[in-house]
Amino acid sequence: MKIFHKTSDIQNYLNVLKKEGKTIGFTPTMGALHEGHLSLVNESNNACDISVCSIFVNPTQFNNEGDLVNYPRKEKEDIQKLESVNCNILFLPSVEEIYPQENEKYHPPLKGKIVEVLEGEFRPGHFKGMMQVVERFLRIIEPDKIFMGLKDFQQYLLVDKMSKALELSVEVVGVATKRESDGLAMSSRNLRLKTDERKKVVAIFQALSMVKDKVNQLSINELEEKGLEYIKEKIGNKPEYFAIVDADTLLKPTEKTKKLIALTAVFVGDVRLIDNLILNEYF
Ligand code: AMP
């Protein structure tokens, strides 16, 4: 695997490959890699000639300084894991490389409810920073496809809508959530759960599965109420949200809604977990 730290170096290398007609798949990450991340690289390997992964802990998307400082950094292990799945290129830039101008102004191309609801409501500023860094990476790497985990569904949707709004010629591919055997969505945050907490958090996937089972029997409000109550009872903490929305707008479903999704975020101790499940394709 080739490792680059400088934008100009990776661009020069990719330009040669692009001239040879090779297609480029790109997986952006913040490191501390697990099987979920590696499944994105596997999808990229299957769909493209060359797979590029980036590891960059993006300071502009943290709304909490402590979170940024404490974010796990495991460069050595990450490199081994990427090599084990035959990733071709790793981009490991410094903060100065990505943000050469201090205090630069950034105006996100997407605004409105889709950015403000759900994660947008509880993590103010997070999506602005996320879009800033993903746009920057897309302009540096200019991949044919970018691979985004559906675990972070709102993030996937925003990157898809952002790349269309900016007319970037990239296909945004959503990759299914990798789960532990009990259904818990894989996340680097799971390692911070205490033993008793780890046992309880299966309730998140159970609640999502329960509303999926009952989607044709109950109203949206009743389903949301059931999901909230189930998680509150099993985990002992009320979720920040348990919402059932149109998977294209993230707003309350209407008669035009084609795809319904349930999304939730809950604190377990000081660990914040998110998950979601598509409920049906044709409502
Ligand atoms: P992160 O490093 O947490 O920013 O995640 C990098 C990418 O991996 C994002 O597109 C995430 O949605 C994706 N990802 C994280 N966890 C999973 C998972 N369990 N299954 C699939 N993709 C995931």
Count of C-beta atoms within a 10 Å radius of residue 68: 14
Task: Looking at the CA of residue 149, tell me the nearest atom of ligand 1.
Answer: 12
- What residues in the chain have per-residue pLDDT under 70? 281-283
Question: Could you tell me if the CB of 58 is within 6 A of ligand 1?
Answer: no
Q: State how far the Cα of 205 lies from the Cα of 201, in Å rounded to an integer.
A: 8
d(CA 48, CA 216): 39
pLDDT for the residue 283: 46
Is 186 near ligand 1, meaning CB less than 6 Å away? yes
- DSSP one-letter code for 21: T
Atom 8 of ligand 1: nearest residue by CA position:
37
* Contact call for residues 275 and 150 (beta carbons, < 8 A): no
**DSSP summary character for residue 192:** G
The pLDDT of residue 113 is: 97
| pLDDT for res 70 | 83
For ligand 1, whether the C-beta of 151 sits within 6 Å is yes
Q: Tens digits of per-residue pLDDT, 114-123?
A: 999 999 999 9
pTM over 0.95: yes
d(CA 195, CA 165): 44
Rounded alpha-carbon distances, angstroms, from residue 199 to 95, 183, 192, 269, 280: 37, 11, 13, 13, 28
Known catalytic residues are: 37
Decide if 51 contacts 89 (C-beta within 8 A).
yes
pLDDT for residue 281: 64
The predicted structure's pLDDT at residue 282: 52
Choosing from 57, 62, 151, 208 the residue with most ligand 1 atoms within 8 A of its CB, the one to mutate for a pocket test is 151
Residues forming a β-bridge with 245:
261
- Does the C-beta of 148 come closer than 6 Å to ligand 1? yes
Residues in a beta bridge with 26? 52, 146
What pLDDT does 74 receive?
A: 95
